[in-house]
Amino acid sequence: MENTNQVMTAAMKRRAVKVAQDVLDSTRVLKVKARNGYVVYSTYGPEGLKLRTAVTSQRGSKAQAGVMKKHCEVCALGACLLSVVALENKFQFTAEGDLFVTNKSVYDRLRSVFTPRQLTLIEDAFETRTTNGLAREYAYDNSYVEVEGQHEAQLFGMKYPTDKLRLRAIMKNIIKNGGEFIPPALPKGDS
């Protein structure tokens, strides 16, 4: 198990703010959807094949991320991944079935921006439930680990009726808090 008590460095916080701002700027074109089990998803059939062909024919991950932002469904972590790639151009997408990325590659790429705890809180807030998400799978060795603030993160997410509004609220929270997602604390006695 890796160090799950990692503290966000100043560099991580700066990158997280940039990623959150890029996600906010992209929400007018992103197809945001809480789709269990998928971080970045495209449809099957002719449209999905056309998209996979367009993505794999693009040179450089920045161009690929731009196409995917317009045509793929993403969760909160998928939106962050596409923004990291668009900003830093350090990733190669492949098209295998309906997936463009593996959960492991998403986790490996995002952990340079967010700690395992932050990834868990963002995912739990977006999904509005405790997830068996990326951080639990890779940082916590598939163990259920109580993460401080996860209940507050879920309640934060439940305040927003749509996936897109929830994603925007999470990203605004990250920007407001200097690069960290910090859900509001519960009032005393509300646990």
Question: What pLDDT shows up at residue 40?
Answer: 64
Bridge partners of 41, per DSSP, are: 73, 99
Q: Could you tell me the mean pLDDT of each successive run of 10 residues in the chain, 191 residues long?
A: 70 96 84 60 65 65 68 82 80 59 77 89 89 62 71 94 93 97 75 48
Question: What pLDDT shows up at residue 131?
Answer: 72
Question: What pLDDT shows up at residue 30?
Answer: 66
Question: What pLDDT shows up at residue 165?
Answer: 93
Domain ranges for the chain: 10-176
Give the tokens for residue 129: 């439930």
